Structure 1
Amino acid sequence: MQKHKCPICGDSLYNGEEIETHHIVPVKEGGSDDVENLVHLHKACHKQVHSTKTKTKAGSKSLSGMIGNSHVPFLGEGREATLEPYPIKFPQMSRKEIAAMLGVDDLKQTRFYQEVFTEGKQEGKLEGKQEGKLEAVSRMLDSGVDLNTIAQWLDLPLEMVKKSDQTN
């Protein structure tokens, strides 16, 4: 798995550049369209692979053998999750595989995610508190406490307490 990095330049694939999918073994040389034979590259890096001998940043893998016009646009302008005409098989992938493919761990490190996550937790706590209070209404009514007192004690609007009484 390439961990959302371009193997040519080493930068994130999600840096705003167009992404293309490259056949490691070109189709004309017997390469398949299977995921194992595909790698995502920035468009400029892909062009470089097809025009010169290129090495990864680490210098360990020569990509000079990747020749031929064998690219497939990936998540381009329309942002469709397909390798045209080969759809990604999400239903056959585990939650862990999809999370890794989409970079969920990277997303969780962003300030945006952290803020939204915190807001969601706070909203969930408030909703949970309110649900607990509404569940207490029927018990309090069974004990003979009147609606106005319940609303005051639980710090709930009287209408909400009345509505809860009607649904129980």
Structure 2
Amino acid sequence: MGMSAGGGDGGGRRGRRRAHVMAEINVTPMVDVMLVLMIIFMVSAPMLTVGVPLDLPQTQAKSLEQDKTPLQLSVDIKGKIFINDTEVQISDLIPKLKAITDARGGLEERIFMRADKKADYGTVARVMGQLSGAGFKRLALVTEVEQGT
């Protein structure tokens, strides 16, 4: 009836099994996160388009080389005037443009004018006349490349 101090397993190691280290990586949570991020980017990417939506006229002229972000002036179909994406009144157009161009390069700053092809011609002519009268000399009209001609 005596008990041995070493136990009946012959050394104490043979009967007890040690838990093995798991060497596999569970990628399911990472895949779930990546799918959610992909859906977020797919939904938000179309909303990142910058600019006022216009139906531009088409020409065969080549595009100009530009090394920095252009200053865009837009006239939409309703006659609203935009500097980049910000709507301005025609009375505020020249003071705001001068403030922007003074910070960027003065009156030699190139202004890209975009006008919807169904926009009021009088509004477009009035804007161009004000730009010319204010001393802006580098005005470029933006068009799309003509298709199928």
TM-score interval, smaller chain? under 0.3
Q: Which has the higher contact order (CA 8 A, sep 6+)?
A: 2
User: Whose helix fraction is larger, Structure 1's or Structure 2's?
Assistant: 1
Larger Cα-atom Rg: 2
TM superposition score normalised by structure 1: 0.21
TM superposition score normalised by structure 2: 0.23
